[in-house]
Structure 1
Amino acid sequence: MVDGGPAADLVDRVAARRSFSRVTPDAPSHEELLPLVAAAGRVADHSALHPWRIIELRGDARMRLGQAFVTDAKASGSDAEKLAAKPLRSSLLLAIVSVRSKSEKVPGWEQDAVASGVAHILSLLLHDAGWGVMWRTGHHTRSKAVHRMHGLAKNERLLGWLYVGGIPADSKEGHRKALDPERFLTTLE
Protein backbone atom coordinates (compact mmCIF):
# COMPACT_ATOMS: atom_id res chain seq x y z
CA MET A 1 0.00 0.00 0.00
CA VAL A 2 1.34 3.46 -0.92
CA ASP A 3 -0.78 5.64 1.38
CA GLY A 4 2.17 7.11 3.24
CA GLY A 5 5.58 6.46 4.68
CA PRO A 6 8.70 5.23 2.88
CA ALA A 7 6.86 3.63 -0.06
CA ALA A 8 4.99 6.85 -0.85
CA ASP A 9 8.24 8.80 -0.54
CA LEU A 10 9.91 6.42 -3.02
CA VAL A 11 7.00 6.75 -5.45
CA ASP A 12 7.24 10.55 -5.26
CA ARG A 13 11.01 10.50 -5.81
CA VAL A 14 10.74 8.16 -8.81
CA ALA A 15 7.91 10.28 -10.24
CA ALA A 16 10.16 13.35 -9.94
CA ARG A 17 12.80 11.88 -12.30
CA ARG A 18 13.54 14.05 -15.31
CA SER A 19 16.00 13.96 -18.19
CA PHE A 20 18.45 16.84 -18.43
CA SER A 21 19.91 17.51 -21.87
CA ARG A 22 22.13 20.25 -20.40
CA VAL A 23 24.26 19.59 -17.36
CA THR A 24 27.13 21.37 -15.60
CA PRO A 25 30.70 19.95 -15.61
CA ASP A 26 30.24 18.58 -12.08
CA ALA A 27 29.96 14.79 -11.94
CA PRO A 28 30.02 12.02 -9.37
CA SER A 29 33.39 10.41 -8.69
CA HIS A 30 34.13 6.76 -9.36
CA GLU A 31 33.79 6.10 -5.63
CA GLU A 32 30.39 7.83 -5.52
CA LEU A 33 29.22 5.68 -8.43
CA LEU A 34 30.12 2.34 -6.83
CA PRO A 35 27.22 2.07 -4.34
CA LEU A 36 24.78 3.28 -7.01
CA VAL A 37 25.98 0.65 -9.48
CA ALA A 38 25.77 -2.02 -6.76
CA ALA A 39 22.17 -1.02 -6.00
CA ALA A 40 21.23 -0.86 -9.70
CA GLY A 41 22.63 -4.36 -10.10
CA ARG A 42 19.76 -5.65 -7.95
CA VAL A 43 17.47 -5.50 -10.99
CA ALA A 44 15.48 -8.67 -11.76
CA ASP A 45 17.97 -11.01 -13.46
CA HIS A 46 16.77 -14.45 -14.61
CA SER A 47 19.42 -17.06 -13.66
CA ALA A 48 21.58 -14.31 -12.08
CA LEU A 49 23.67 -14.01 -15.26
CA HIS A 50 24.60 -10.36 -14.58
CA PRO A 51 24.55 -9.73 -18.35
CA TRP A 52 25.74 -6.15 -18.20
CA ARG A 53 28.61 -3.85 -17.50
CA ILE A 54 29.08 -0.10 -17.35
CA ILE A 55 32.04 1.80 -18.79
CA GLU A 56 32.96 5.22 -17.39
CA LEU A 57 34.06 7.76 -20.00
CA ARG A 58 35.73 10.90 -18.72
CA GLY A 59 38.30 13.31 -20.13
CA ASP A 60 40.04 12.12 -23.31
CA ALA A 61 37.84 9.03 -23.56
CA ARG A 62 34.96 11.35 -24.52
CA MET A 63 37.11 12.89 -27.27
CA ARG A 64 37.98 9.43 -28.60
CA LEU A 65 34.26 8.62 -28.63
CA GLY A 66 33.60 11.80 -30.63
CA GLN A 67 36.24 10.74 -33.15
CA ALA A 68 34.60 7.31 -33.38
CA PHE A 69 31.30 9.08 -34.18
CA VAL A 70 33.07 11.00 -36.96
CA THR A 71 34.66 7.81 -38.31
CA ASP A 72 31.31 6.03 -38.24
CA ALA A 73 29.54 8.82 -40.11
CA LYS A 74 32.46 9.53 -42.45
CA ALA A 75 31.72 13.16 -41.69
CA SER A 76 33.89 16.14 -42.55
CA GLY A 77 33.99 19.87 -41.91
CA SER A 78 31.39 21.36 -39.58
CA ASP A 79 29.43 18.08 -39.48
CA ALA A 80 32.53 16.34 -38.12
CA GLU A 81 33.01 19.08 -35.51
CA LYS A 82 29.39 18.75 -34.34
CA LEU A 83 29.63 14.96 -34.11
CA ALA A 84 32.96 15.07 -32.29
CA ALA A 85 31.51 17.50 -29.74
CA LYS A 86 28.47 15.37 -28.82
CA PRO A 87 30.22 13.36 -26.08
CA LEU A 88 31.57 16.61 -24.62
CA ARG A 89 28.07 17.69 -23.51
CA SER A 90 28.80 16.05 -20.17
CA SER A 91 32.00 15.42 -18.23
CA LEU A 92 30.83 11.87 -17.42
CA LEU A 93 29.30 9.36 -19.78
CA LEU A 94 28.35 5.89 -18.59
CA ALA A 95 28.23 3.42 -21.45
CA ILE A 96 25.59 0.76 -20.85
CA VAL A 97 26.69 -2.60 -22.22
CA SER A 98 24.66 -5.78 -22.50
CA VAL A 99 26.92 -8.82 -22.08
CA ARG A 100 25.15 -11.78 -23.63
CA SER A 101 25.93 -15.23 -22.25
CA LYS A 102 24.93 -18.51 -23.83
CA SER A 103 21.90 -19.75 -21.94
CA GLU A 104 19.14 -22.20 -22.74
CA LYS A 105 16.88 -20.47 -20.21
CA VAL A 106 17.57 -16.77 -20.84
CA PRO A 107 17.35 -15.51 -24.44
CA GLY A 108 19.47 -12.59 -25.65
CA TRP A 109 16.59 -10.11 -25.62
CA GLU A 110 16.00 -10.84 -21.94
CA GLN A 111 19.66 -10.27 -21.16
CA ASP A 112 19.45 -6.92 -23.00
CA ALA A 113 16.37 -6.12 -20.89
CA VAL A 114 18.36 -6.74 -17.70
CA ALA A 115 21.10 -4.35 -18.86
CA SER A 116 18.43 -1.81 -19.76
CA GLY A 117 16.89 -2.23 -16.31
CA VAL A 118 20.26 -1.57 -14.68
CA ALA A 119 20.61 1.61 -16.76
CA HIS A 120 17.18 2.86 -15.80
CA ILE A 121 17.59 2.12 -12.09
CA LEU A 122 21.02 3.77 -12.20
CA SER A 123 19.48 6.86 -13.80
CA LEU A 124 16.87 6.97 -11.03
CA LEU A 125 19.54 6.63 -8.35
CA LEU A 126 21.70 9.32 -9.94
CA HIS A 127 18.72 11.67 -10.18
CA ASP A 128 17.81 10.98 -6.56
CA ALA A 129 21.41 11.78 -5.58
CA GLY A 130 21.02 15.21 -7.22
CA TRP A 131 22.63 14.61 -10.61
CA GLY A 132 21.23 15.51 -14.00
CA VAL A 133 21.01 12.48 -16.30
CA MET A 134 20.00 11.81 -19.88
CA TRP A 135 20.09 8.41 -21.58
CA ARG A 136 21.25 8.88 -25.17
CA THR A 137 21.06 6.16 -27.79
CA GLY A 138 21.08 6.16 -31.59
CA HIS A 139 22.67 4.47 -34.55
CA HIS A 140 26.19 5.04 -33.19
CA THR A 141 25.54 2.28 -30.65
CA ARG A 142 25.84 -0.22 -33.54
CA SER A 143 28.94 1.35 -35.11
CA LYS A 144 32.09 -0.75 -35.50
CA ALA A 145 34.28 2.28 -34.73
CA VAL A 146 32.32 2.99 -31.54
CA HIS A 147 32.45 -0.67 -30.50
CA ARG A 148 36.23 -0.74 -31.03
CA MET A 149 36.64 2.49 -29.06
CA HIS A 150 34.79 0.92 -26.09
CA GLY A 151 36.74 -2.34 -26.38
CA LEU A 152 33.57 -4.41 -26.70
CA ALA A 153 33.72 -8.17 -27.17
CA LYS A 154 31.65 -10.01 -29.80
CA ASN A 155 29.01 -10.97 -27.22
CA GLU A 156 28.55 -7.36 -26.07
CA ARG A 157 26.03 -4.78 -27.28
CA LEU A 158 26.19 -1.08 -26.54
CA LEU A 159 22.74 0.11 -25.45
CA GLY A 160 23.63 3.79 -25.10
CA TRP A 161 25.16 6.26 -22.69
CA LEU A 162 23.97 7.97 -19.55
CA TYR A 163 25.21 11.56 -19.76
CA VAL A 164 25.68 12.65 -16.15
CA GLY A 165 26.43 16.05 -14.63
CA GLY A 166 25.27 18.76 -12.31
CA ILE A 167 21.82 20.27 -12.73
CA PRO A 168 22.11 23.89 -13.91
CA ALA A 169 20.58 26.38 -11.48
CA ASP A 170 18.54 27.93 -14.30
CA SER A 171 17.28 24.61 -15.65
CA LYS A 172 13.66 24.53 -16.74
CA GLU A 173 13.93 21.06 -18.23
CA GLY A 174 11.94 18.08 -17.35
CA HIS A 175 8.55 19.52 -16.54
CA ARG A 176 6.23 16.76 -17.68
CA LYS A 177 2.55 16.16 -17.26
CA ALA A 178 1.65 13.41 -14.86
CA LEU A 179 1.04 10.08 -16.54
CA ASP A 180 -2.49 8.66 -16.53
CA PRO A 181 -1.94 5.12 -15.19
CA GLU A 182 -5.45 3.99 -16.22
CA ARG A 183 -4.36 4.29 -19.83
CA PHE A 184 -1.54 1.76 -19.36
CA LEU A 185 -2.81 -0.62 -16.66
CA THR A 186 -5.47 -3.08 -17.75
CA THR A 187 -7.10 -6.00 -16.01
CA LEU A 188 -7.89 -9.43 -17.40
CA GLU A 189 -10.86 -11.14 -15.83
Structure 2
Amino acid sequence: MRPALEAALVRRSVSKVTDAAPDDAELLELLGAAGRVADHASLRPWRVVALRGEARDRLGSALALASGLEAADPRGAAKLATKPLRAPLLLAVVAVHTPDYAKVPEWEQDATAAGVAHLLSLLLDEAGWGVLWRTGPYTRHPAVSAAHGLRPNEALLGWLYVGGKPERRRVERLKPIDAAARLTTLD
Protein backbone atom coordinates (compact mmCIF):
# COMPACT_ATOMS: atom_id res chain seq x y z
CA MET A 1 0.00 0.00 0.00
CA ARG A 2 1.15 3.57 -0.62
CA PRO A 3 2.50 5.23 2.55
CA ALA A 4 0.23 8.32 2.47
CA LEU A 5 -2.85 6.18 1.84
CA GLU A 6 -1.93 3.82 4.66
CA ALA A 7 -1.26 6.72 7.05
CA ALA A 8 -4.68 8.20 6.28
CA LEU A 9 -6.47 4.87 6.72
CA VAL A 10 -4.93 4.07 10.11
CA ARG A 11 -5.11 7.56 11.65
CA ARG A 12 -7.29 7.82 14.74
CA SER A 13 -7.97 10.67 17.13
CA VAL A 14 -6.50 9.97 20.56
CA SER A 15 -8.37 11.74 23.34
CA LYS A 16 -6.28 10.49 26.28
CA VAL A 17 -2.54 10.91 25.95
CA THR A 18 0.52 10.50 28.17
CA ASP A 19 2.83 13.30 29.32
CA ALA A 20 5.36 12.69 26.54
CA ALA A 21 5.38 15.18 23.67
CA PRO A 22 7.47 15.96 20.61
CA ASP A 23 10.24 18.51 21.07
CA ASP A 24 10.58 21.66 18.99
CA ALA A 25 13.06 20.06 16.57
CA GLU A 26 10.60 17.29 15.69
CA LEU A 27 7.74 19.79 15.44
CA LEU A 28 9.72 21.95 13.03
CA GLU A 29 10.43 18.99 10.78
CA LEU A 30 6.77 17.94 10.70
CA LEU A 31 5.54 21.50 10.30
CA GLY A 32 7.89 21.99 7.36
CA ALA A 33 6.21 19.06 5.64
CA ALA A 34 2.68 20.10 6.66
CA GLY A 35 3.27 23.53 5.16
CA ARG A 36 3.37 21.93 1.70
CA VAL A 37 -0.44 21.95 1.43
CA ALA A 38 -2.18 23.63 -1.50
CA ASP A 39 -1.69 27.37 -1.06
CA HIS A 40 -3.08 29.71 -3.71
CA ALA A 41 -0.55 32.49 -4.41
CA SER A 42 1.88 30.95 -1.88
CA LEU A 43 0.66 33.30 0.86
CA ARG A 44 1.42 30.82 3.66
CA PRO A 45 -1.61 32.19 5.53
CA TRP A 46 -1.02 30.29 8.75
CA ARG A 47 1.14 29.90 11.78
CA VAL A 48 1.21 27.53 14.75
CA VAL A 49 1.55 28.52 18.40
CA ALA A 50 2.93 25.80 20.70
CA LEU A 51 1.54 25.91 24.25
CA ARG A 52 3.37 23.95 26.92
CA GLY A 53 3.53 24.19 30.71
CA GLU A 54 2.01 27.32 32.23
CA ALA A 55 0.85 28.61 28.84
CA ARG A 56 -1.85 25.91 29.03
CA ASP A 57 -2.96 27.31 32.42
CA ARG A 58 -3.20 30.81 30.94
CA LEU A 59 -5.28 29.44 28.08
CA GLY A 60 -7.56 27.69 30.59
CA SER A 61 -8.09 30.98 32.43
CA ALA A 62 -8.90 32.69 29.12
CA LEU A 63 -11.41 29.96 28.23
CA ALA A 64 -13.11 30.33 31.62
CA LEU A 65 -13.28 34.10 31.16
CA ALA A 66 -14.63 33.72 27.62
CA SER A 67 -17.36 31.37 28.83
CA GLY A 68 -18.80 33.95 31.20
CA LEU A 69 -19.39 31.16 33.73
CA GLU A 70 -17.08 32.45 36.48
CA ALA A 71 -19.88 34.17 38.44
CA ALA A 72 -22.88 32.03 37.46
CA ASP A 73 -21.24 28.60 37.53
CA PRO A 74 -17.79 28.63 39.15
CA ARG A 75 -17.50 24.83 38.92
CA GLY A 76 -18.27 24.92 35.22
CA ALA A 77 -15.68 27.63 34.70
CA ALA A 78 -13.09 25.67 36.70
CA LYS A 79 -13.77 22.53 34.67
CA LEU A 80 -13.40 24.46 31.43
CA ALA A 81 -10.12 25.94 32.67
CA THR A 82 -8.60 22.45 33.02
CA LYS A 83 -9.33 21.36 29.44
CA PRO A 84 -5.97 22.58 28.07
CA LEU A 85 -4.23 20.38 30.64
CA ARG A 86 -5.46 17.19 28.95
CA ALA A 87 -2.32 17.07 26.80
CA PRO A 88 1.26 18.20 27.44
CA LEU A 89 1.37 20.11 24.15
CA LEU A 90 -1.30 22.14 22.42
CA LEU A 91 -0.66 23.40 18.91
CA ALA A 92 -2.89 26.38 18.18
CA VAL A 93 -3.57 26.63 14.46
CA VAL A 94 -3.86 30.25 13.38
CA ALA A 95 -5.10 31.57 10.05
CA VAL A 96 -3.09 34.64 9.06
CA HIS A 97 -5.23 36.74 6.75
CA THR A 98 -3.81 38.94 4.05
CA PRO A 99 -6.61 41.51 3.96
CA ASP A 100 -7.96 42.95 0.73
CA TYR A 101 -6.21 40.37 -1.41
CA ALA A 102 -8.95 39.73 -3.96
CA LYS A 103 -7.09 36.90 -5.65
CA VAL A 104 -7.27 34.74 -2.49
CA PRO A 105 -10.36 35.41 -0.37
CA GLU A 106 -10.27 34.99 3.39
CA TRP A 107 -12.17 31.68 3.31
CA GLU A 108 -9.50 30.22 1.06
CA GLN A 109 -6.76 31.39 3.42
CA ASP A 110 -8.64 29.67 6.27
CA ALA A 111 -8.87 26.51 4.16
CA THR A 112 -5.10 26.50 3.69
CA ALA A 113 -4.53 26.89 7.45
CA ALA A 114 -7.01 24.06 8.11
CA GLY A 115 -5.15 21.94 5.56
CA VAL A 116 -1.92 22.51 7.49
CA ALA A 117 -3.67 21.45 10.71
CA HIS A 118 -5.01 18.27 9.15
CA LEU A 119 -1.75 17.29 7.50
CA LEU A 120 0.17 18.07 10.70
CA SER A 121 -2.21 15.86 12.69
CA LEU A 122 -1.65 13.05 10.19
CA LEU A 123 2.13 13.46 10.35
CA LEU A 124 2.12 13.54 14.16
CA ASP A 125 0.02 10.38 14.25
CA GLU A 126 2.34 8.66 11.79
CA ALA A 127 5.31 9.70 13.97
CA GLY A 128 3.70 7.86 16.90
CA TRP A 129 2.07 10.75 18.76
CA GLY A 130 -1.51 10.87 19.97
CA VAL A 131 -3.41 13.78 18.43
CA LEU A 132 -6.89 15.23 18.79
CA TRP A 133 -8.10 18.34 16.97
CA ARG A 134 -10.33 20.47 19.22
CA THR A 135 -12.31 23.58 18.42
CA GLY A 136 -15.08 25.26 20.34
CA PRO A 137 -17.20 28.34 20.79
CA TYR A 138 -14.42 30.42 22.34
CA THR A 139 -11.79 30.27 19.60
CA ARG A 140 -12.70 33.79 18.43
CA HIS A 141 -13.13 35.37 21.87
CA PRO A 142 -10.81 38.35 22.56
CA ALA A 143 -9.48 36.80 25.82
CA VAL A 144 -8.53 33.59 23.98
CA SER A 145 -6.97 35.57 21.14
CA ALA A 146 -4.95 37.56 23.67
CA ALA A 147 -3.75 34.37 25.38
CA HIS A 148 -2.22 33.35 22.04
CA GLY A 149 -0.81 36.77 21.18
CA LEU A 150 -2.89 37.00 18.03
CA ARG A 151 -2.71 40.06 15.80
CA PRO A 152 -5.81 41.77 14.34
CA ASN A 153 -5.45 39.93 11.01
CA GLU A 154 -5.29 36.49 12.67
CA ALA A 155 -7.98 34.00 13.63
CA LEU A 156 -7.65 30.90 15.80
CA LEU A 157 -9.01 27.78 14.09
CA GLY A 158 -8.51 25.39 17.01
CA TRP A 159 -5.90 23.28 18.76
CA LEU A 160 -4.16 20.01 18.15
CA TYR A 161 -3.85 18.29 21.53
CA VAL A 162 -0.64 16.26 21.32
CA GLY A 163 0.94 13.71 23.65
CA GLY A 164 2.20 10.18 23.88
CA LYS A 165 -0.05 7.34 22.85
CA PRO A 166 -0.93 5.18 25.84
CA GLU A 167 0.64 1.72 25.67
CA ARG A 168 -2.70 0.00 25.92
CA ARG A 169 -5.41 1.89 24.21
CA ARG A 170 -8.68 0.80 22.84
CA VAL A 171 -8.53 0.70 19.08
CA GLU A 172 -11.84 1.81 17.72
CA ARG A 173 -13.05 0.48 14.46
CA LEU A 174 -14.20 3.32 12.35
CA LYS A 175 -17.09 2.87 10.02
CA PRO A 176 -15.85 2.64 6.47
CA ILE A 177 -16.46 5.71 4.36
CA ASP A 178 -18.99 5.16 1.60
CA ALA A 179 -16.93 7.10 -0.92
CA ALA A 180 -19.39 6.36 -3.74
CA ALA A 181 -22.11 8.22 -1.83
CA ARG A 182 -19.80 11.25 -1.53
CA LEU A 183 -18.56 11.42 -5.13
CA THR A 184 -20.47 13.10 -7.92
CA THR A 185 -19.12 12.82 -11.45
CA LEU A 186 -20.18 15.30 -14.11
CA ASP A 187 -19.69 14.43 -17.76
Aligned equivalent of 1:12: 6
Ranges in structure 1 where 5+ consecutive residues have no aligned partner: none
Q: Deviations over 1:55-86 (max 9, x none)?
A: 00000000000000111112232112201100
The one-letter amino acid paired with 1:73 is S
Q: Deviations over 1:148-182 (max 9, x none)?
A: 11111111000000000111122115431221211
Q: Secondary structure at the match of 1:158?
A: strand
Query: Which residue among 13, 17, 22 is the counterpart of 1:23?
Result: 17
Overall identity of the aligned pairs, in %: 54
Q: Secondary structure at the match of 2:21?
A: coil
Contact map agreement 1:127 1:133 (CA 8 A) in 2: yes
Contact map agreement 1:23 1:167 (CA 8 A) in 2: yes
Distance between the aligned counterparts of 1:159 and 1:9, measured in 2?
Answer: 28
The one-letter amino acid paired with 1:98 is A
Distance between the aligned counterparts of 2:164 and 2:181, measured in 1?
Answer: 34
Instruction: Give the count of matched residue pairs.
Output: 183
Aligned equivalent of 1:87: 84
Say yes or no: does 1:127 pair with 2:121: no
Distance between the aligned counterparts of 2:43 and 2:133, measured in 1?
Answer: 24
Aligned equivalent of 1:171: 169
Ranges in structure 2 where 5+ consecutive residues have no aligned partner: none
Pairing of 1:30-179 with structure 2 (within 5 A): 30-76=24-70, 77-102=74-99, 103-179=101-177
The one-letter amino acid paired with 2:78 is E
Distance between the aligned counterparts of 1:61 and 1:25, measured in 2?
Answer: 15
Q: State the Cα distance separating 1:142 from its structure 2 match.
A: 1.1
Distance between the aligned counterparts of 1:119 and 1:68, measured in 2?
Answer: 22
The one-letter amino acid paired with 1:13 is A
Q: CA RMSD in A?
A: 1.1
Distance between the aligned counterparts of 2:145 and 2:168, measured in 1?
Answer: 36
Output the TM-score relative to the length of structure 1. 0.93
Q: State the Cα distance separating 1:39 from its structure 2 match.
A: 0.3
Contact map agreement 1:18 1:175 (CA 8 A) in 2: no
